[in-house]
Structure 1
């Protein structure tokens, strides 16, 4: 396929960080295939040749297969895959039952793994394929017991991103993990008002995401921590 206009698949692209990434990419000439679990009117009025929404449910492996196939059918290929969909847990690794652990890992880890496998042949066929994984600063440190189960899943996501990066080394498919802290989305709704005013904006993350996706393969970036405040990195 030609290098431009490039095609990106973005999971969870109908709200929050995902929607900001979709809008950022569209504003800079990308075509975008949006995966969303529920119907959305976020793209009504847009040219379907530029952006389309498809059913994607991280707990339904068949929807992953169908989404990849529909993207290739309607857009002609895949240049980038953005793993943004995910769920939150506020349970500790001790308190959570097996069902919650399994669901968190299914949505946050196993689905991105399966989706990458299914899109891989098309990423290899692109001029310079890209995978962007939305991890979290929680992947890099555990601050409280209540955040520990979520952190476990995001640490696995971060390792997945590094694994994908190594798998694409020879083929020039590049993978980057974005690791934001609190972002002004629904997930940060419980923060104190003063902190909510200071948190990273979805649009900030989207700008970084686009920059990474547009870097040449000769500039491989493994991970980018993003925080609304200065904090020690360890």
Structure 2
């Protein structure tokens, strides 16, 4: 099994000229999970029932705020997740993208100060979802999970 769960956020707007911060988000949020998936694929293929869980973000499903770099990197991570799901299917590899919204974390304390931490989803909520996904048989695959503490269109 592989669980891709690293992520960083820098507040970079459309007109900001911060290539270094954009590159850092791209490396951590999009390229690192892709690299790990590539490394794990041969081993997961051998098992016949490999699992990859990609913790993406609701920012990979919609654009909110002035975070163009973060949203771009999360959309790319979601595309890689869907590609891995399609390419691994015949070999028994099941890939699920989990996209949480606001989650109690240091990141949301900094970047979403107007949303109260106590109403946000908790890390243990994601852990429960991941645990359930890992236990499902190949015949009961869930390709994507959207999780949020607020109502919003997707």
* TM norm structure 2: 0.92
Q: Distance in 1 between matches of 2:94 and 2:123?
A: 23
Which residue of the partner structure matches residue 138 of structure 1? 59
Which residue of the partner structure matches residue 156 of structure 1? 76
Uncovered stretches (5+) of structure 2, i.e. residues with no partner: none
Structure 2 matches for 1:17-28, cutoff 5 A? none
| CA spacing shift, 1:103–1:192, aligned 2, 3 Å | closer
Which residue of the partner structure matches residue 92 of structure 1? 13
Which residue of the partner structure matches residue 136 of structure 2? 215
Larger radius of gyration, structure 1 or 2? 1
> Deviation at 1:94?
2.5
Residues 121 and 148 in structure 2, CA contact (< 8 A), matched pair in contact too: yes
RMSD, aligned CA: 1.5
Which residue of the partner structure matches residue 98 of structure 2? 178
SS of 2:91's equivalent?
Answer: coil
Uncovered stretches (5+) of structure 1, i.e. residues with no partner: 1-79
SS of 2:97's equivalent?
Answer: strand
Q: Distance in 1 between matches of 2:145 and 2:46?
A: 26
| CA spacing shift, 1:232–1:92, aligned 2, 3 Å | same
Q: Distance in 1 between matches of 2:115 and 2:25?
A: 30
Q: 2:34 aligns with which of 109, 113, 122?
A: 113
Q: Per-residue CA shift, 1:165-186, capped at 9, x if unaligned? A: 0011110101000000110111
Which residue of the partner structure matches residue 230 of structure 1? 151
Q: Distance in 2 between matches of 1:125 and 1:113?
A: 19
Q: Per-residue CA shift, 1:92-147, capped at 9, x if unaligned? A: 133142222222111111111111111111111224100010110011111222x2
